[in-house]
Chain A
Amino acid sequence: MNRKKVFLGGVFILSSAIVYAAWPNWKKLLSSPTKPKTATIVAGVRGLDTLPEGKGDNTSRDWAALEKMESYSLSAEELNKFIQEGGLK
Chain B
Amino acid sequence: MKKNIFWLFVLIIFGGQAFGQIGLGDILEGGQQIFSGLRGISVEEEGKIGREMAANLCARFGLYESSPAWSYVWLVGKSLTRQIPETRYNYHFAILNTAITNAFSAPGGYVFITVGLLAQLKDEAELAAVLGHEIGHIEKRHVAREMEKSKVISGTSQLAKKSLLDNSNRQLVEQLSGIGVDLLFKGFSRGDEFEADAVAIELLKKTGYDAAGLKRVLQRLSGEKSDSPIYQTMFRTHPFPQERIKKMETLLDYSGGVTNSERFSRLSPLAK
Q: Which residue numbers of A lie inside 8 Å of B, CB to CB?
A: 2-3, 6-7, 10, 13-14, 17-18, 20-22, 24-25, 33, 49-56, 58-63, 65-66, 68-70, 72-74, 78-79, 82-83, 85-89
Contacts and interface: CB of A to CB of B under 8 A. Distances in A.
Contacts of B94: 69, 72
Contacts of A53: 60, 185
Nearest to B53: A58
Instruction: Give the bracket for the number of chain B residues in contact with chain A.
Output: 35 or more
Given A6-B4, A22-B19, A56-B60, A61 B55 contact: yes
Interface string B156-185: 000000000000000000100110011001
Please classify the interface of chain B as helix (H, G, I), strand (E, B), loop, or mixed, using the class held by over half of its residues: helix
Contact of A7 (B4, B61, B174): B4
Contact of A59 (B83, B174, B263): B174
Contacts, number: 142
A72 B70 contact: yes
Contact of B15 (A21, A65, A73, A86): A21
Given A60-B59, A86-B258, A14 B15 contact: yes
B56 A60 contact: yes
Contacts of B209: 88
Contact of A66 (B51, B78, B102): B51
Interface of B: 1, 4-5, 8, 11-12, 15-16, 19, 21-22, 51-52, 54-63, 65, 70-71, 74-75, 78-79, 82-83, 92-94, 96, 98-100, 102, 110, 124, 174, 177-178, 181-182, 185, 206-209, 229, 232-233, 236-237, 258, 260, 263
B75 A58 contact: no
20 contacts: A6-B1, A10-B4, A10-B8, A17-B12, A21-B15, A22-B19, A33-B178, A49-B100, A50-B100, A52-B100, A52-B236, A55-B61, A60-B60, A61-B59, A63-B55, A65-B58, A69-B94, A73-B74, A86-B258, A87-B208
